[in-house]
A and B are shown apart, each in its own frame.
Chain A
Amino acid sequence: MDWTEKEVYPFSAIVGQQKMTRALILNAICPALGGLLIRGEKGTAKSTAVRALAAVLPEIEVVSGCPFNCDPHEYNRLCPECKARVQQGIDLPILKRKIKVIDLPLGATEDRVLGSLDLEYAVKEGKRRFTPGLLALAHRGIIYIDEVNLLNDHIVDVILDAAGMGLNIVEREGISYMHRAEFILIGTMNPEEGELRPQLLDRFGMCIQIEGIDDPDERVRLIKFRERFDKNSTEFIMAYQSRQNNLSQKIIHARERVSHTKISDEMLQLCSKLALDAFVAGHRADIVIRKTALTIACYEGRDAVTEEDVNEAADLVLLHRMRIPPPPPRYNREEKERSQEESPDDEKKKQEEKPQTQNRQENEVREEKKEKEEKDKGESENSLSQIPMLESVFPVGDAFKVRKMQMKRDRIPRKGSGRRSRTRTSSKTGRYIMSTMERRTNDLALDATLRAAAPYQKRRSRQDVAIVIEESDVREKVREKRIGNFIVFVVDASGSMGAGKRMIETKGAILSLLMDAYQKRDKVAMVAFKGEHAETLLPPTSSIELAHKLLEELPTGGKTPLCHGISLGYQIIQSYFRKDPYIYPLLILLSDGKANVSQYGGKPLSEAMEVAEEIRNDTRVNTAIVDVEKSGLITFGLAHQLSRQMGARYFRIEDLKSDTLVEILREDLLI
């Protein structure tokens, strides 16, 4: 879709969000800056701005009719066709046009991104020819991915490959082709929907975080603009025409300036110093800061880079390269974002880095949190000074970022398919990403099948149809879908859990796991055991809200029927297997491992051990035990014993908290 032809909200009429508009303009001036990632909550004009950018982009010269957008003035970089034309002494026709913004929709398939066999040509001529894909279209232009964090992993890999080399190498469907693919990657995302993979994150030269505007005057201005645009878009666009033109001119002037703007050694030092202060990995940041600062100076019409330029550049470049982004100013969103910023990939990245590379801001936040925790501790200890003998309902403890459980979850799918939480499915659901010759599922990939058959059509006897398909042509779809893990919480709600702050912490732990489960869109179920028996509090559901509500209301008190609890949890998993054999179930037991109610009339603890062994023998089920026993003078270590018996990963409740980063790291090395 050519956005320049549509009636798009004018770029120069965007209210506020100067940081975003500036970052976009800087990228338009200097493609070498390496693209931009815009993170922000919904409704902050992210997509609007990128689409609007197309209208103010400068013009470039391309070889007219060349699908690869060759630059007519650079002989060495021409595509083979253009080169051949030059060698034959033909003058390349030159076309001046605006830089293009190419949309990459989330549902894109591999063949369209890379390019594939030209079907029509193959049928007619019986020969194979390459038909260019989006990467070819985007050469010397911009690829825009809306909701980039939702893009399919495989497609991301393909794009990263090309972006890394500036080349697209195609070896598929009997075609071998290579063309240049140098493009600016612009992505927008709402962090609420999950984080980006670090490899992709690093690919973006700049990253900015944007928010809604708080100033009422600006907000009213924004509503008014929007009202005018809705009423008569053509008129509105006309009214902004001169500003749009001015902006375009400014960009063009800045482009011309790039080659003779200077940066002093002093400023270069500042670039590196800022990068050092942010504890970034590698040297990429320094380089991008320098380039960005230069570009800012050009845009401002200056010949030399000033300190402000460097500071502004560092602000744009360092956000996603710092170990942890600075905390957002408002507190109420802090927790939310913290939990989201901790995707497992992030963690891996962090673990690769040195633990002492924590920036000051982060420490501050931590201290704040510690204070808060201490306050909570004080409160809860007051109210729980004696062990409650009767049933009581404890509040839900502080939620924290889940760290270790994800390491655990990471390993489960790897057995099966090697992709975390996402897997290739064999049922006919999920997103079609590419095709295969392997025949397994009867899930016909029509396009690939046709392409496979096309080159042979001249030799096949065709009656009424243009394409005859033979058995050997058939290709099947490879689909990918997020496999929601299925998590069954088995919660000990017996009297012993009332001691200290165990139940509060346990509830906090479950809440954290629930929040994590929500982002991965897992299904959850919950079993609680206390008194004489265990009970299914929550049948398998994806309503995390409901689980949270039940958790709040969960009472504590009575004896400990551990065995019944575990076996009930196991039963739920077994019955769910019948419904969906593709799930990865995970049973999480939160208990201190004590048992004093028998299910079959034997010894309570040995019964539990027996069930545990049964679960260990079922290889489909993964288990984890969170030991809530306080480490103190007298510990029984029963939960640890149980975990060995069950083949479960063993965690102490403290281990789940990620705040103790160093400790986790050390433990990781031990494992």
Chain B
Amino acid sequence: MENQKVICHYHFTAIVGQDKMKNALILNAINPKLGGVLIRGEKGTAKSTAVRSLAVLLPDIEVVADCKFGCNPHNRSQMCQECVNRLDCGEELPIEKRKTRVIELPVGSTEDRVVGTLDMEHAIKKGEKRFEPGILAEANRGILYVDEVNLLDDHIVDVLLDSAAMGVNVVEREGVSYSHPAEFILIGTMNPEEGELRPQLLDRFGLCVHIQGIADLDQRVEVVKRRAFYEQDPAGFQKTWKQEEEKLQQAIVRAKELLQGVTISEDILYLIARIAIDMNVDGHRADIMMMKASKTIAAFNGRREVLKEDVQSAADMALQHRMRRKPFQKPGVEEGKIIGIISHKEVPKMPKV
């Protein structure tokens, strides 16, 4: 593992190639409801670099300034108990604007650190029970990043499943009974050579991309060059990429605004359902994800209308990990099949707006 602090400053836009992964991450930055992304790939394919550098691109959010959970001051139903109580008492909640956080969940984390635990200091000093929030509390309304997610301890995965499903962390342990909002975008990276992910956790990731090392010679040289530039002259590197970075940032903000107004036609919805049925996926999350992802893709492309192409790229990301597999078959999608379904079902072309 390289030095984290240094990696943080590597620019998202400076990553060579790996467009699928970058796209999936950008889509999540635009629409947090996409439910995260799982990046599968071999070692050294800029997985972690990309996730860490994403933090800079994320838009600002408004939070209750002195709330441990960073509650949304505008939505009562998403607040923690304290904030609700304060509202009920007629208190005005102080509002603060801050960056969306990327919280890392280390593979060796203990359960008490993840879900939160009894506040030892307070208990001993005051003789009272108090809840000390954990990583899930920090990750509320942000990104929860798990590197090597397939190596996570089973019981940690279990508690993650619990809160990832409903956006609430319920704690009933070590003498504490507490629950607080824990809505986070789950981003995980994994190297499939080291074992697969449990099916239930796999499904919690909205999208999934599979990446490989770059085979193109020129691009490979470019990777090395940029890295060398960055290591020798970080300031110069920053200057060079600042503009690109800002451009992308603006594109994300624009897409976010546009997303609310994106419409999806009946035909496209049927196409999505058709794909889900023909590809024989598990459950309905795939449909919902395809719908959300294709809308987000349309918004990112500056359109108010979802096209077939959008569905195609959405399906590629939303179905990767949801196909029913034979025992030990590697998860994945035959791309040709999706294209086949899409072209078979005639959908009238929409005029570009």
Which residues of A pack against B, CB within 8 Å? Answer: 1, 5-7, 40-45, 47, 51, 103-109, 111-113, 116, 119-120, 123-124, 133-134, 146-147, 150, 190, 192-193, 212-214, 216, 219-220, 222-224, 226-227, 230-231, 233, 332-333, 335-336, 339, 399, 428-432, 445-448, 450-451, 454, 457, 464-467, 469, 481-482, 511, 514-515, 518, 521, 541-549
Contact = CB atoms under 8 A, between A and B. Distances in A.
A214 B280 CA distance: 9
Contact of B284 (A213, A216, A431, A549): A213
B111 A431 contact: yes
Interface residues of B, number: 71
For the complex of A and B, the 9 pairs showing the least CB-CB separation, nearest first, are A43-B283, A466-B127, A43-B285, A123-B127, A447-B175, A548-B328, A219-B273, A42-B203, A1-B179
A224 B295 CA distance: 13
B120 interface: yes
Nearest to B291: A223
Which of the listed residues B125, B170, B327 has the most CB atoms from chain A within 10 Å of its own CB? B327
Given A430-B155, A544-B196, A5 B125 contact: no
A381 B327 CA distance: 25
Interface stretch (B159-167, B209-217, B223-231, B243-251): B159-167
Given A216-B277, A467-B124, A112 B196 contact: no
A223 B158 CA distance: 28
B155 A43 contact: no
Given A214-B277, A219-B284, A515-B327, A120 B127 contact: yes
Interface stretch (B58-66, B92-100, B263-271): B263-271
Given A147-B158, A446-B118, A227 B174 contact: no
Contacts of A450: 118, 123-124, 175
Contact of A223 (B161, B269, B283): B269
B234 interface: no
Interface stretch (B12-20, B43-51, B138-146, B187-195): B187-195
Contact of A447 (B118, B154, B260): B118
B272 interface: yes
A111 B174 contact: yes
Contacts of B273: 216, 219-220, 223
A501 B330 CA distance: 27
Contact of B172 (A44, A108, A431): A108
6 contacts: A42-B203, A43-B322, A107-B162, A219-B287, A226-B291, A543-B194
A234 to B, nearest CB: 8
Contacts of B291: 223, 226-227
B171 A107 contact: yes
Given A5-B77, A112-B175, A546 B124 contact: no
B254 interface: no
A146 B287 contact: no
Contacts of A105: 159, 162, 170-173
B284 A447 contact: no
A44 B165 CA distance: 13
A184 B171 CA distance: 21
A432 B111 contact: yes
A231 B264 CA distance: 13
A637 to B, nearest CB: 33
Contact of B285 (A7, A42, A133): A42
Contacts of A214: 277
Contacts of B159: 105-107
B286 A193 contact: no
A261 B155 CA distance: 47
A372 to B, nearest CB: 15
Contacts of A231: 260
Contact of B283 (A120, A193, A212, A339): A212
Contacts of A482: 154
B200 interface: yes
Given A108-B172, A224-B269, A431-B111, A543 B196 contact: yes
B257 interface: no
Given A112-B177, A146-B166, 9 more contacts: A109-B173, A123-B127, A147-B200, A190-B200, A193-B199, A230-B292, A339-B327, A450-B123, A467-B127
Contacts of A467: 123-124, 127
